[in-house]
């Protein structure tokens, strides 16, 4: 299944006077453009999980979003807005001459993919929304439910540290670590591309847009909800999630109810990273969807 391979091409693309680094695997007219999660993560974990799909006559393209990885890292917090990221995606698509693409968005990349599809629907052959949501206020409710499974005393401890601003306390960090291993990646050993991305996390975009960790949304996206707009989507849509995902199956179902023609698949033994946790189930679903919507 997945394996790390070197990109066939690497490009530099200018966005608002800043350099982005773009990676491409394979060639051909069927382009899978991957938008990774974060915000603030390098694309390693998503790029290296999917680059090998070039053997299926796909061109796989991923890039380090502004502020991440090998791309430029400005510090102006005004840059960390989802609408600006939409234009970043469009700039990459046009600069590489990709034409109409299959857009795959994972986690935060899924929110970005939805926003991109609202503004540039004609650029898409299909939309693949992986482990993501269309309604962040609903996600916040779901995260409270996941936190609640730790027990009332642990939740009270977390709320106390959040109120006091002491999120670096070992007690609080221990609870976050447990939640991450339950709901982000359930593997005992996390894959090297995932560890590389996490070790190079730029917390500037992340804290501005999302919040201090995966289970507390207080950034500028906390009220983001595009379910109404998704009802008007015409492109083929695949929604995937893991049974144990932090961005829960209930969140995925809300998107499915909004975009009624969408296909939804839940991977029973995965959390947030089915391409690593359950690749033997994940990749056939993705490839079948892409095969049915070529051209």
Q: Which of 24, 48, 245, 271 is catalytic?
A: 245
Q: Which of 50, 106, 183, 272 is catalytic?
A: 272
Exposed/middle/buried for 55, CB within 10 Å: 0-12, 13-18, 19+?
A: exposed
List the one residue out of 184, 194, 189 whose CA is nearest residue 44. Answer: 194
How many Å apart are CA 201 and CA 199, to the nearest integer? Answer: 6
What is the DSSP track for 255-285? HHHHSTT-EEEEETT-SS-HHHHSHHHHHHH
**Residue 243 CA from chain centroid, whole number:** 17
Cis upstream peptide for 39 (omega within 30°): yes
Secondary structure (H, E, C), 69-126: CCCCCCCCHHHCCHHHHHHHHHHHHHHCCCCCEEEEEECHHHHHHHHHHHHCHHHEEE
Q: Which of 107, 126, 197, 270 is catalytic?
A: 107
- Contact, 131 vs 243, CB < 8 A? no
How many Å apart are CA 239 and CA 293, to the nearest integer? Answer: 15
What is the DSSP track for 131-171? S--SBHHHHHHHHHHHHHTT-HHHHHHHHHHHHHT-TTSHH
List the one residue out of 252, 267, 271 whose CA is nearest residue 135. Answer: 252
Active site residue 107: yes
How many Å apart are CA 150 and CA 162, to the nearest integer? Answer: 16
Active site residues: 107, 245, 272
């Amino acid at each position: 299944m997945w394996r790390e391979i070197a990109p066939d091409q690497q490009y530099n693309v200018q966005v608002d006077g800043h350099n982005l680094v773009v990676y491409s695997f394979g060639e051909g007219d069927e382009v899978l453009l991957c938008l990774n999660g974060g915000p603030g993560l390098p694309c390693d974990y998503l790029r290296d999980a999917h680059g090998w799909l070039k053997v299926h006559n796909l061109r796989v393209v991923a890039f380090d979003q502004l502020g991440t990885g090998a791309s430029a890292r400005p510090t102006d917090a005004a840059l960390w807005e989802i609408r600006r990221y939409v234009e970043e995606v469009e700039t990459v698509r046009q600069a590489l001459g990709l034409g109409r693409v299959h857009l795959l968005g994972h986690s935060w990349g899924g929110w970005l993919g939805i926003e991109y599809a609202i503004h540039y629907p004609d650029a898409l052959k299909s939309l693949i929304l992986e482990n993501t949501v269309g309604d962040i206020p609903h996600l916040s409710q779901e995260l409270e439910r996941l936190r609640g499974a730790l027990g009332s005393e642990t939740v009270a401890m977390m709320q106390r540290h959040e109120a006091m601003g002491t999120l670096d306390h070992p007690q609080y960090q221990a609870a976050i670590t447990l939640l991450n291993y339950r709901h982000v990646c359930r593997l005992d050993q996390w894959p090297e591309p995932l560890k590389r991305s996490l070790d190079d996390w730029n917390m500037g975009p992340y804290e501005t847009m999302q919040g201090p960790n995966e289970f507390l949304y207080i950034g500028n996206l906390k009220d983001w909800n595009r379910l109404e707009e998704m009802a008007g989507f015409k492109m083929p849509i695949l929604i995937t999630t893991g049974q144990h995902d932090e961005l829960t199956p209930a969140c995925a179902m809300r998107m499915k109810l909004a975009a009624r023609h969408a296909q939804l698949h839940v991977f029973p033994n995965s959390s947030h990273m089915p391409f690593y946790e359950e690749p033997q189930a994940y990749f056939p679903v993705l490839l079948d969807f892409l095969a049915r919507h070529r051209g």
